[in-house]
Chains A and B, each alone.
Chain A
């Protein structure tokens, strides 16, 4: 996608200032090609059934070994640790922080560190480790991509964790682990998760990238 400006320069120089119909077609084709390449280069290496089975087996292994997977609690644990260090009295009197399970780094903490490690290794192995700031959908829908994306990312992050802790678990901990154990709390969680997710995605990303648009 970053190559388009270069192409523009080339086209304008050859056509004296304006894009002719021909070169506009050429530009469209190139754009299409670029998006295809970008999408393909991000195509996951596994077909969906194999991917789902892999993840499912990981979950089963986790349940067999220790307990179902969960991610979001450890953010609170990390924060609690810092608070305990900075303001010990506050954390002593706090009903959540004085709880024993928020006071030590255990299985979940190392699980999160493992996620970071494993993802890094896998991305390197797939040759997909690349510094990126925006996604295709975002680029397609917003004019000033990078800064806005980062701001949205931050706000989204705050909402993500606040919601995850209110619901006692994030997507992994409540949605996936909840359904695999058939717990009651997963039902209301799923309803609002998908409802709001689709609504907000519809509002924030109204336009689809080219290739997907063509398939509609």
Chain B
């Protein structure tokens, strides 16, 4: 239990610091490789020096967990060459590729997909190519201090001193440049004027000032809107995915919920949920590192439902505020944002679990796990029942999904209209 949590936390810290330090930007990497932009080089140099010194200190206290890779000179050479080619071509490394895909770069996303293919190629060639190669020039897992017989301090301290000295000597120009930019106010997280061509705001003319202010606000709203959209999309996919997992029999439905379920769909779903919760654990299958049981699916669906309803409220509210801002600031794009607001409201209405309030008269697009269990376990004989079943779980969902995409498209047009 400790390991996944530690991994997740370390990953979050590392990913965040990759973005914070700007190494996720391929321009920085390419600039470094072309020796035009020294930011990345200096950053990585400090990274290495601090890492070395810190590891040495940890080692002195006996707290370092080493994991030394086998030194196979030939494969390291070939691998370095291939990796260098990929790095020079794209400007991403594996870690920075992941991180910049997460910060919205589509080319990085494609690179990540390419990396998955690369892993597959590696698996395919492993028995025939890699194993023979690894026998050549294999020195095993050794470190430089072990080979030379000198203590690691003898290695680290001179390297650290020389590196720091070199960085310090070549610092002057870079630092001046940094300070200039700092004075100009664009190094920190200060405001970057969002639309480069528009004139700087003139303080005397209130209208322009208001307009640029409203533009900034609209940018913030747009960002949050996009985030909420992604969250909603994920939740919808989760819900639909768990429906398919259950209905195709990948996950066994716990038996308690089967027997105690009332006959009328949607009549007493809370009781059915309670019955489903303490169900015994059925034999499990893995999916992305989880053992998927119906019990777990139940909790996932519940959480996704809660998040969905809440985010749909926020989504509609953000559309409303966007409408207000673009009205107040005279930014234009009112028709688009009105359409988007309307659709967001419809989504919200469709998503609410009406079946819990009104019994079987109406239904919402979200379903409770108990309901799913009931629908799946009752025998559906005729075609009509089958059609109803899929309409209720997939058709309804597809409608909401369609509306969500349309709303996002409309609001995207709104954002573009604003920029114009």
Contact = CB atoms under 8 A, between A and B. Distances in A.
Interface of A: 3, 6-7, 30, 33-34, 37-49, 51-72, 75-76, 78-81, 83, 94-97, 104-124, 126-138, 149-150, 152-174, 176-185, 188-205, 208-209, 212, 215-216
B317 interface: no
Nearest to A128: B103
A45 B73 contact: no
B114 A64 contact: no
Contacts of A62: 10, 14
The 9 closest A-B pairs by CB, nearest first: A114-B11, A157-B114, A52-B46, A44-B22, A56-B50, A167-B79, A163-B82, A200-B88, A161-B118
Given A106-B4, A110-B4, A115-B102, A166 B289 contact: no
A177 B51 CA distance: 8
Interface stretch (B183-191, B308-316, B373-381): B183-191
B96 to A, nearest CB: 8
Interface of A is mostly: helix
A196 B86 CA distance: 9
A179 B52 contact: yes
Contacts of A171: 83, 87, 93-96
Contact of B18 (A115, A181, A208): A115
A30 B196 CA distance: 9
B76 A69 contact: no
B405 interface: no
Nearest to B290: A105
B89 A155 contact: yes
B81 interface: yes
Interface stretch (B62-70, B318-326, B383-391): B62-70
Contact of B48 (A106, A120, A179, A199): A179
Nearest to A79: B119
A51 B84 contact: no
In this complex, which of A66, A181, A196, A216 has the most chain B Cβ atoms within 10 angstroms of its Cβ? A181
B102 A201 contact: no
Given A53-B46, A166-B75, A183 B142 contact: yes
A199 B83 CA distance: 12
A46 to B, nearest CB: 6
A190 B126 contact: no
A119 B100 contact: yes
Interface string B21-38: 111111110110111111
B24 A79 contact: no
Contacts of B286: 81
Interface residues of B, number: 146
A137 B14 contact: no
Contacts of B289: 104-105, 109
B19 A48 contact: no
Interface stretch (B143-151, B268-276, B338-346): B143-151
Interface stretch (B105-113, B235-243, B350-358, B392-400): B105-113
Contacts, number: 561
In this complex, which of A111, A160, A209 has the most chain B Cβ atoms within 10 angstroms of its Cβ? A160
A88 to B, nearest CB: 13
Given A56-B46, A119-B19, A184-B144, A153 B116 contact: no
B51 A60 contact: yes
A192 B98 contact: no
21 contacts: A33-B196, A43-B181, A68-B67, A69-B95, A76-B119, A110-B4, A112-B98, A114-B7, A114-B12, A118-B15, A119-B98, A119-B103, A126-B189, A129-B226, A157-B114, A163-B81, A163-B86, A166-B76, A185-B70, A189-B80, A201-B88
A199 to B, nearest CB: 7
A96 B95 CA distance: 23
B71 interface: yes
A75 B94 contact: yes
Contact of B47 (A38, A40, A59): A59
Contacts of A177: 67
Contacts of A37: 192-193, 196
A7 B152 CA distance: 60
Contact of A59 (B4, B16, B54, B147): B54
A183 B192 contact: no
A61 B7 CA distance: 12
B334 to A, nearest CB: 21
Contacts of B88: 196-204
Interface in B94-136: 94-108, 110-123, 126-127, 130-131, 133
A23 to B, nearest CB: 15
A172 B178 contact: no
A177 B52 CA distance: 9
A119 B7 contact: no
A196 B65 contact: no
In this complex, which of B7, B33, B112 has the most chain A Cβ atoms within 10 angstroms of its Cβ? B7
B75 A167 contact: yes
Contact of B89 (A71, A96, A200): A200
Contact of A176 (B47, B174, B192): B47
Given A159-B83, A163-B81, A180-B52, A115 B69 contact: no
Contact of B86 (A132, A160, A182): A160
Given A137-B27, A161-B94, A66 B80 contact: no
Given A153-B107, A173-B69, A184-B144, 6 more contacts: A95-B127, A111-B11, A150-B107, A155-B86, A180-B52, A182-B52
B66 to A, nearest CB: 6
Contact of A60 (B17, B45, B58, B193): B58
